Amino acid sequence: MVGGYLAIQLLELLSLSLDTPTWLVFLIGGACGAILVAIFFDWALVLLTSLLGAGLLVQLLNTSSRLSLVLIAILVVIGFFVQVENCCENDRLD
């Protein structure tokens, strides 16, 4: 579900308009997210939650597309490293 949400948000952020229905983009993004989680569960969970958190925070700010992309990139990196550091202290990531 996170993969589908991220796919929709990415299309909106990049101002891309496809002739593809929104539900299909959501389905494809969700499938990609599910495959990623199935293969690399711990790392995928950290990455997807970092992306989701960054996307939600930037969405609240209502900034321009270019600034939103920069903020998302910065927040994803911060979120990723904070979660990895937290997980490594607990030895949860393999």
Using one digit for the tens of pLDDT, what is the confidence trace for 14-38? 877 777 788 888 899 999 988 888 8
pLDDT in tens, 69-86: 899 999 999 999 999 888
Report the number of distinct structural domains present in the chain.
1
Prediction pTM value: 0.65
Residue 31: the pLDDT is 92
CA dihedral 15, 31, 72, 16 (to 10 degrees): -10
